[in-house]
Amino acid sequence: MTRIEVINNQIDEIMDTFDFEEVRKVMTFLDWEWADCNGVPEDYELRKSARKTMKHLIRFEDGGASSSGGFTATLKQGVSGSGKWLRVDLAFCVEQTLLDGEDYE
């Protein structure tokens, strides 16, 4: 399979297994509205946004991340004894802290 085929297969699997209803429950509880929606996004809007966020990963040749509307999609790639590998992840984040790396001795 090509790199893009593997990414698309993983996106399809995530779309089949990710609990979008749970995301909607959290958003409803927090009264979290998107600017382009009339209230809390519907299931199909959540799914559309998640897929679009993951599709952005295709442009990253060495891995990377894409975020939108609470969704964070990451692409990790590497090489193992059996060849090239990659993994697509999707998370819905309510709060997160990311720090810059620091030099050390």
Looking at residue 54, what is its pLDDT? 97
Two tokens at 20?
């979008």
State the DSSP code for 42: P
Question: Residue 102: beta bridge partners?
Answer: none
Burial 5-20 (b: 16+ CB within 10 A, else e): ebbbebbeebeeebeb
DSSP secondary structure letters along 28-39: HHHT---TTSSS
Mean pLDDT of 51-68: 94
Spatial CB neighbours of 8, under 8 Å, sequence gap ≥ 6: none
- For the chain, what percent of residues have pLDDT higher than 70? 100
Domain ranges of the chain: 3-92
Amino acid at 62: D
pTM of the model: 0.87
Tens-place pLDDT, residues 63-90: 999 999 999 999 999 888 888 999 999 9
